[in-house]
Every structure is written in C-alpha cells, then in structure tokens.
C-alpha cells in the first residue's frame, strides 16, 4: 500500500518542485520509504507502506528495457503470475513487479491478468507513453488532472491541489450529490478539473494528453444461472477460502475488523480456519448511547473461534475530537458516519498490525441491502433506490443547490436497464458503479491510510464476483432475507454467528451527540460553506430540532462545513469541532 503521483508534460522535464509537493502531500500513505523516477517528459513519485518484500520491494521498479512502474495496492496472485513467466528474470520479490513484465508482453491489456487491488503507473520511454490502471472494483484510488499542457495523477486529489496542479473549486453537481446521497457519482470528482479513473479503467497518455482509455468490468455479463444448492455451497466455500487465503499474503502482521454482522463473521470464520494460531480482531462500540452495541456478539464469536479480540470504544468525546481529522482525511468526500469508528479502529489497529481484512463488498455481491428487496417487488410496488435525498422535505438549502442530484445515478440505472440482467442484478450493479467505490471504499482507504494501515477486502475479488453475481436471485434474497446463500454457508461454518436471526442495522449515534450541543447550530451556520448553500436563518433551527428525521441532515452539514474548511479554504485542523468552527 502506497501513495503514487506523477506528471507528464507536453515536452520537457517535469518540474522537480511539483514532484516534491506531490510526494509530501502523500507522505501519510507511505511512511516506510520514498522513490522517484524522472526521465524525459515523465516524473513519478511513490511513498511506500512496505507489506511484501520489505527490503527489496522499493519503487520505482525497472525492467531491462528501461520501463518503470510505481504502484499502490497489492497484486495477490503475484506468485502465480511469476510461475506463468518461467523465462522471466525478476529483480525483486515484490508483488508489484509482475505487472511491469505483463505490460511488456501483453501491452495495455495487462490488467486482465491481475487479481488484486491496485492503482498502477507505468512509464514506457521507448513508446513515449504513460499507462495508468485502476482495479475493477475501484478499491484503490487514482485521480487525474489534465491541463494545457500536460497532465498529473495522484492517489488523492488533495495532493494535486497541494502541488498547485489543480484548484479547489467545487463542482455544484457533485456537491448536490454529496448533500443528497452522502457520496458523489461518476468519474468527475467534487473538484473541477480533477477526475477519478473509473473502476477498471486503463488510460494511455502520450505527449501530456490522454490518447486511449478502456474499462475492465468488475461484474460478469449475463442473467442469473441456476444451480444445485449443495454444489453451490461447496463452490462458495472454495472461492471464499481461496480469496481469504490470497488476501492474507503478507510479510507483516495482519488482523481484521469484526462487526458481528454476516460479512465480517464470514471473514472471521475463514481466517480462523486458515490461521490455527488465532486471529486478531477489532470491534468498535458506542457506550452510553442508544445505538446498538455489537461488541457482545463479536466477543462471543471471537471466543468460539479463539480470536484475540480487541474492543474499541467510540464515545461522544471521540466524536468531537476526531471529526475534524476525519473530514481532513476524506479529501474525496463521503459523508458516511461509519468513517468515524473506522478511523479510530484503524488508529488502534496500527499499534499491532499493518494489514486489516474487512467485509466490504459482501452486501453488494450477495444482495444484503433492504433496498434490493424493494426493487424486486412486482409493479406497482417496486421502489427505485435512492429516490429521496437527505434534504428532500427539509426547507434549509437555497433554491437550486440540489438541482440534478440524481442525474448521474439515473444514467447508470438506464444503462443497466439495457443489460439483460435481472432487476436484482441491475440494482447490485448500480451500487457497484458508484456507492461502493465512491463511498465505502473511499472511506476505508482514507481512514486506514491516514493511520498507516492497508485495508483488504476479500469479497471484492474477481473470482468471488464471478461466482456471486450470477447466483439465482432466490439464493440471494429469500423470505425477506438478503445474502441467503452466504447465511446458509455461515450456519454450518460458524453456527454461533446465528446468521438467520434478525440483525439490527449498523448505526453511529451522530444525531444523539449533535443534539447534546445546543450551540453547535450557530457555529455551523456561520461557516462560509454553509452560508453559500443554506437559506439564512434555517440552519440553527434545523440543529435545534435535531432528531430522528433531521439528524442525518445535521450530520451532513457539519461534515461538509469541516471538510470545506480543510479542502477548499486550506485550513489545517488543530483542535476539536468547536474550536475549529469558532476560529
């Protein structure tokens, strides 16, 4: 896991000072070393968090023809790739070297052979070409800023801004999406002039301009396929076991995040099977609040599996003290309150491990969300996903602020309607296109990398996806329960998980904490970010009545105000929420 960045000019040597600023802005992503490559019109930098081949895996890595690679992530099948290239000499034991040699043999289609999470940059001086590639699920981030002349890329948009290669100007449509849905859609980021590489995208640039782009899809094409239940359970066991085993390849200690839900329980069951010496599991809880506390159930699962269980309390004091730092870490914003416990769990985990496995992707691939059951209902009872935004019916925002907030999501829905997939598959694919990479995976990447931790997600594996996505709909959703086949497997693999018991949804009691601070509304209302989007006199009233129906709107404005201070106004956080907003 690392931070990468670089520049390709339209002619001439890249500016060394700009490369310095890029590297410095990404220092938190790689505390174990820094590398640089400058040749011709290309300059690349990399900050390394060393996980595999600790001594020999420094980047950039070069081949005999003078090509260079810098990469962020892990290629889990690197040993198998090496075996498939018997005549190839390898200079390192790094998992990031095989993609360089694959590129030499396969050209820009090299990513088809990779099984992992990655953002890769390859400079090919002989062809005067820069190739950028991102993994199909978008687990690892990569951003691109094109200007005249030249282009720049980085693992985080804030690095491009810090280097003076882009400006922190807000795109109103992306802001509308953030306010209404808690994340932004598509490849355009919230900053004008900075775009994400799409999940699975490979870009070819020459002369400082993008010349070609292709997409490697994460999900298989086609409608659901039928199958025998016993055979499918055996196959599920096989693909999950292999994926977790691959995701444990590491030369440093690793652990997992355990919520007690279905997905993390599956990961725990498999890690316990593969690690007879025991698993290190971290669980967050919210003492003294009305939020459901998952620690008791997680504690029971840890005891049954022999896991070493670390319980981490997230309190109201943590909320006020950590939120400015969390908002600062989330430069590509997602107003997902799960970023709060994720950030503190990562900080605690970093004391003992450098790698964490977690259950992201299980809901999307095995159909766990309640909204999937809604779209499966027969007409006219089916309900489209995200038909209502956070601020609908709340008279706070200025006219036009949320205009077009659902346009890009609707475009993905229309595209999926022509796919030949079932309604359930289409809903899953819509979530995999935007919600998954631009909320869940962005949250995990930023919160873990801010604490020097690599996050791994074994559900988001091409082999697992190939199996899960084409399961029959009735093996995903049955009798009002999502992830039915996964639950059925877990019933045998870890009976203590009680997978068919009714589960309580995960929540963070942000509304409860916000309602305990009666003067917070005035502080939020006075922020430039809020005055720009909210009607005068409405914000204090909203915060004064913060409750079940308005709590998420209050949280969203609070998060956005703190995010804007750091990433638009350029003010580094120094204190807690109150001192920041009162400054």
Contact 104, 168 (CB under 8 A): no
- Binding-site residue ranges for ATP: 358-359
Please report which helix (H) or strand (E) contains residue 212, including its range: strand 209-215
Considering only CA atoms, which of 558, 538, 327 is closest in space to residue 446? 327
- Binding-site residue ranges for L-glutamine: 95
- Report DSSP state, residue 435: I
CB atoms within 10 A of CB 492: 11
Burial of 241 from C-beta contacts in 10 A (0-12 / 13-18 / 19+) = middle
- State the Cα–Cα distance between residues 182 and 560, nearest whole angstrom: 10
- Binding-site residue ranges: 95, 358-359
- State the Cα–Cα distance between residues 295 and 506, nearest whole angstrom: 12
> Helices 172-181 & 551-567, crossing angle to 10 degrees?
140
Considering only CA atoms, which of 91, 92, 46, 93 is closest in space to residue 73? 46
Radius of gyration, alpha carbons of the chain: 23
Considering only CA atoms, which of 246, 469, 231, 261 is closest in space to residue 367? 469
Q: How many residues does the chain have?
A: 583
- State the Cα–Cα distance between residues 4 and 491, nearest whole angstrom: 42
Contact 385, 371 (CB under 8 A): yes
Beta strands in 61-207 (DSSP E): 61-62, 68-75, 116-124, 129-134, 143-146, 151-154, 194-196, 201-206
Contact 46, 60 (CB under 8 A): yes
Contact 45, 4 (CB under 8 A): yes
Specify the 3-state DSSP secondary structure of 151: strand
- State the Cα–Cα distance between residues 200 and 122, nearest whole angstrom: 16
- State the Cα–Cα distance between residues 48 and 252, nearest whole angstrom: 14
- State the Cα–Cα distance between residues 310 and 278, nearest whole angstrom: 13
Phi, psi for 68 (deg, rounded to 5): -130, 145
Burial of 348 from C-beta contacts in 10 A (0-12 / 13-18 / 19+) = middle
Considering only CA atoms, which of 441, 374, 435, 445 is closest in space to residue 408? 435
Give me the active site residues, please: 2
Cross-strand bridge partners of residue 5: 45, 154
Considering only CA atoms, which of 249, 444, 272 is closest in space to residue 361? 444
């Amino acid at each position: 896991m690392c931070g990468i960045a670089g520049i390709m000019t339209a002619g001439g040597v890249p500016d060394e000072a700009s490369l310095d600023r890029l590297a410095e802005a990404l220092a938190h992503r790689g505390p174990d070393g820094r590398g640089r490559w400058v040749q011709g019109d290309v300059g690349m930098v990399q900050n390394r968090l060393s996980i595999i081949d600790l001594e020999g895996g420094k980047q950039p890595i070069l081949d005999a023809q003078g090509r260079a690679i810098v990469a962020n992530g892990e290629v889990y099948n690197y040993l198998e790739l090496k075996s498939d290239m018997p005549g190839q000499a390898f200079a390192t034991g790094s998992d990031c070297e095989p993609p360089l040699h694959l590129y030499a043999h396969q050209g820009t289609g090299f990513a088809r052979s990779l099984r992992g999470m990655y953002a890769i940059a390859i400079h090919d001086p002989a062809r005067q070409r820069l190739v950028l590639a991102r993994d199909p699920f978008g687990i690892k981030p990569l951003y691109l800023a094109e200007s005249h002349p030249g282009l720049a890329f980085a693992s985080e948009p804030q690095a491009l801004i810090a280097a003076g290669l882009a400006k922190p100007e807000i795109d109103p449509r992306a802001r509308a999406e953030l306010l209404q849905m808690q994340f932004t859609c598509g490849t355009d980021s919230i900053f004008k002039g900075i775009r994400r590489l799409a999940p699975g995208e490979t870009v070819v640039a020459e002369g400082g301009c993008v010349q070609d782009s292709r997409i490697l899809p994460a999900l298989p094409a086609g409608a659901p396929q039928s199958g025998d239940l016993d055979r499918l359970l055996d196959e599920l066991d096989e693909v999950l076991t292999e994926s977790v085993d691959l995701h444990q390849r590491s030369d440093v200690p690793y652990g997992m995040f355990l919520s007690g839900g279905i997905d993390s329980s599956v990961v725990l069951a498999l890690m316990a099977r593969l690690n007879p010496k025991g698993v290190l599991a971290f669980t967050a809880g919210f003492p003294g609040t009305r939020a459901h506390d998952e620690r008791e159930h997680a504690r029971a699962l840890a005891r049954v599996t022999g896991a070493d269980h670390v319980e981490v309390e997230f309190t109201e004091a943590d909320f006020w003290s950590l939120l400015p730092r969390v908002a600062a870490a989330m430069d590509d914003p997602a107003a997902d309150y799960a970023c709060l416990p994720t950030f503190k769990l990562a900080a605690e985990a970093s004391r003992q491990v450098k790698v964490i496995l977690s259950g992201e992707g299980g809901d999307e691939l095995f159909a766990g969300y309640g909204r999937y059951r809604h779209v499966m209902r027969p007409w006219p009872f089916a309900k489209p996903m995200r038909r209502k935004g956070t601020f609908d019916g709340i008279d706070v925002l200025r006219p036009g602020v949320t205009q077009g907030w659902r346009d890009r999501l609707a475009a993905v829905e229309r595209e999926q309607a022509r796919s030949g997939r079932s309604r359930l598959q289409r809903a899953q694919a819509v979530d995999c296109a935007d919600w998954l990479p631009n909320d869940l995976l962005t949250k995990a990447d930023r919160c873990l990398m801010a604490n020097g931790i690599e996050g791994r997600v074994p559900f988001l594996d091409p082999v697992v996806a190939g199996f899960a996505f084409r399961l029959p709909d009735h093996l995903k959703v049955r009798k009002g329960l999502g992830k039915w086949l996964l639950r059925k497997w877990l019933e045998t693999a870890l009976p203590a998980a009680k997978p068919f018991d009714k589960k309580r949804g995960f929540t963070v009691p942000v509304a409860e904490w916000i309602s305990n601070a009666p003067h917070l509304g005035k502080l939020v209302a006075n922020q430039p970010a809020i005055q720009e989007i909210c009607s005068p006199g409405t914000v204090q009233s909203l915060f004064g009545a913060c409750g079940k129906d308005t709590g998420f709107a209050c949280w969203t404005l609070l998060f956005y105000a703190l995010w804007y201070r750091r990433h638009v106004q350029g003010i580094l956080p120094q204190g807690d929420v109150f001192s920041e907003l009162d400054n």
